[in-house]
Chain A
Amino acid sequence: MFFEVRNLSVNFGGVRALSHVSLDVQKGEVHSIIGPNGAGKTTFFNVISGLIKPDSGSIIFDGEEIGHETPWGISCKGIARTFQNSQLFITMTALENVVTGMHNHTRSGVFSSALAVPKFRREEAEVLQKAERLMEFVGLKGWERYPSSSLAFGQQRLLELARALATNPKMILLDEPVAGMNYEEKQRLALLLVKIKEEMDITTLLVEHDIKWVMQVSDLISVLDYGEKIAEGNPEEIRNNERVIEAYLGKRRTLA
């Protein structure tokens, strides 16, 4: 299995945020995680990306246990992510944000940069070109030199995506990628996900509230409720799953 989560549990004090969650993701899949507010979706992402340490359970990525890696270690292994609340580097331009994403693919150290040796200059030129291509890929051509904070909300999400792709990942985690986007932007991102899967061979794991959009883009969907996984299946199966309907709409009550 490409990505495998086994019996993952996380507690915050006495609150059980995740309880024995298991999940399998195949290479090249678009796998979505849905669930009501507070179901533990973002916590799940934070654990995978190393920001929160799990209390028990294991996370295996590409044959390696990564449950106790640092966030930068996990990034090096090939997992990139975006954030629910924009976490762009706001004092940088849009392009610089993407270039910064290539941190681990640039070698020049402090001394060779300070002296601007030819190798450093060549590398910078390469990195810049690659970042420009990525910005074009996500549809932000023409915005390279603008401060990242001047971009519209939907564009900021795309920029975060470009920055995540710049780390050259094998898998990306998208935390509510279409929140705040209009219909057109959502459709464009759906197309982009297909391209990411087919052209870049990157697996996508995403958390999203927009169920209609999730049904459209996902190969598989897992449902979390109160920190537990209550269902998994393709969009059709999820749509008709009793427990899922219950989690979202509540139990059908009979009058006494």
Chain B
Amino acid sequence: MKRNFKKLPLLFIFILFLVAPQVLDNYFIYLLNLFFIACIISMGLNILTGFAGQVSLGQAAFFGIGAYISSLCVIKLGLPFWLSLPLGGVMGAVISLVIGLPALKVSGYYLALVTLAFNEIVNLIMIHWKNMTNGTDGLTIPSPKLGDFVFSTDGSKYYIIFLLAFFLFIAARNILRSKTGRAFISLKDSEVASQCIGVNLAKYKIIAFMISAFYASLAGGLHGIALSYIHPQDFSLFRSIIFLMVIVIGGLGTPGGPFIGAALFTLLPEALGKFQEYQELIYALILLGSIIFLPSGLIKLPGRIITVANRVSPKRQKSMPPA
């Protein structure tokens, strides 16, 4: 009984989002599409940085790898979208294994440095390998088809994106509640204790990195169909930094943090309108503000308000644990 009740809010949210495109206008559906794509990246990065404690500055590269590989499989090889999307994800994971293996065998910030360089390299390849990627002219991407049905409207693409995001959310949640998830948290909390209870540090850091790359690459494939167009600029190092920023602002290592971060990531550029060029500045200010006032992220804002309120009127006592 208790178990079923626990799942009720999740089911409610699922149904809410399922019917949402029926009532929303196109622009909102388009924004929701971008939001879910950002959610997928943030969820992956949250596993890596928030739970396993490793920093990657190359998520945009994986985002791009997924986008280009899945699109090129459709355009050049004529594969169906349903095959090329997972293919892009798997390729992203394989590439992350290759660059993660040397970087994660040693502890420290090597991964951040390696992924930073990696992002630049991948971005340059996208720009200069013109006969494959079409360079800075970008690639136009055909809409996915299922039988005779073409997913050409934002509303129809929404279902692909939302259902995959929801599935990946459940998968991430399950992983974090498993042996693998506990190993991630343990190596962030205490590497020393973690290895002494039998956690193979390098192995689990690499698994976390591969999961984050897999998520980012899948998000890339979805990004391609959501916009029907991809451009190397979408996958620059600056994007990677922003991905990292939004999950810090949202709340690192919390289950809900990535979603708040993703919402910010999606809405801020829209809200800025013609002040787009100040985007970097505004992100930086929000980051500084949140580190100073809300070090555990926006997700903790309600709790923080309660704490401050209690400080002002300290009447209520906290309940005591058993003796």
A96-B182, A113-B175 given; A91·B196 CB < 8 A: no
A-B contact count (CB 8 A): 106
Chain B residues with Cβ under 8 A from A83's Cβ? 192-193
A115 touches B174 (CB 8 A): yes
In this complex, the member of A108, A110, A146 whose beta carbon has the largest number of chain B beta carbons within 10 angstroms is A110
Contacts of B196 in A (CB 8 A): 49-51, 71-72, 74-75, 80-81
CA distance A150 to B321 in the complex (A): 9
B195 and A72 within 8 A (CB): yes
Instruction: Please tell me if the beta carbons of B186 and A113 are within 8 angstroms of each other in the complex.
Output: no
Task: Scan residues 87-109 of chain A and give those whose CB is less than 8 A from a CB of chain B.
Answer: 87-92, 96, 99-101, 103-104, 106, 108-109
| Interface contact A72-B193, CB-CB below 8 Å | no
Residues of chain B from 173 to 188 with CB closer than 8 A to chain A in the complex: 174-175, 177-183, 185-186, 188
Q: How far is the CB of A173 from chain B (nearest CB, A)?
A: 9
Chain A residues with CB below 8 A from B321, complex form: 143, 146, 150
Inter-subunit contact A99/B182 (CB<8 Å) = yes
A163 near B179 with CB under 8 A, answer no
Is B179 a contact of A72 with CB atoms below 8 Å? Answer: no
Give min CB distance, B44 to chain A, whole Å.
Answer: 12
Which residue of chain A lies nearest to B190 when distances are taken between CB atoms in the complex?
A: A87
The residues of B that contact A90 with a CB separation of less than 8 Å are 189-190
Contact B189 A89 (CB under 8 A): yes
B188 cross-chain contacts in A, Cβ below 8 A: 91
Contact B180 A109 (CB under 8 A): yes
Q: Is the CB of A89 within 8 A of B193?
A: yes
B207 touches A103 (CB 8 A): no
Q: Which residues of B contact A99 (CB under 8 A)?
A: 182
Interface size on B, residues (CB 8 A): 32
User: Which residues from chain B contact A116 at a C-beta distance below 8 Å?
Assistant: 170, 174
Indicate with 1 or 0, residue by residue over A215-227, a CB within 8 angstroms of chain B CB atoms. Answer: 0000000000000
A57–B268 Cα gap in the complex (Å)?
62
B175 touches A89 (CB 8 A): no
> A72 touches which one: B182, B185, B200, B211 (CB < 8 A)?
B200
Measured between beta carbons, the chain A residues less than 8 angstroms from B170 are 116
Tell me the chain B residues, 134-183 only, with Cβ under 8 Å from chain A.
Answer: 170-172, 174-175, 177-183
List residues of chain A with CB within 8 A of the CB of B69: none
The answer, yes or no, to whether B201 is at the interface (CB within 8 Å) is yes
CB-CB < 8 A to B198: which residues of A? 72, 75-76, 103-104, 167
Q: A80-B196, A142-B322 are in contact. Are A113 and B253 (CB under 8 A)?
A: no
Of the residues B185, B195, B322, contact of A89 by C-beta under 8 Å: B185
Q: Are A108 and B178 in contact (CB under 8 A)?
A: yes
Known A-B contacts A83-B192, A87-B192; the reply to A115 vs B179 at CB < 8 A is: no
Known: A91-B253, A110-B207, A113-B174. A71 touches B195 (CB 8 A): yes
Is B197 a contact of A80 with CB atoms below 8 Å?
yes
Instruction: Decide if A114 is an interface residue (CB 8 Å cutoff).
Output: yes
Q: Which A residues are CB-close (under 8 A) to B200?
A: 70, 72
- In the bound complex, residues from chain B placing their C-beta under 8 Å from that of A104 are 198
Q: Give the CA-CA distance A195 to B263 in the complex, in Å.
A: 54
Closest 4 CB pairs of A and B: A113-B178, A75-B198, A87-B193, A71-B195
Q: Which B residues contact A (CB, under 8 angstroms)?
A: 170-172, 174-175, 177-183, 185-186, 188-190, 192-201, 207, 211, 253, 321-322
Contact sample, A vs B, 19 pairs, CB 8 Å cutoff: A50-B195, A70-B195, A71-B196, A72-B198, A72-B199, A72-B201, A74-B196, A83-B192, A87-B192, A89-B186, A89-B193, A91-B189, A100-B182, A103-B197, A106-B178, A110-B178, A113-B177, A114-B175, A142-B322
Given contacts A100-B182, A110-B175, A110-B180, could you give 13 more A-B pairs where the C-beta distance is less than 8 Å?
A: A72-B200, A72-B201, A75-B197, A83-B193, A91-B189, A91-B253, A96-B185, A108-B178, A110-B178, A113-B175, A114-B172, A143-B322, A167-B198
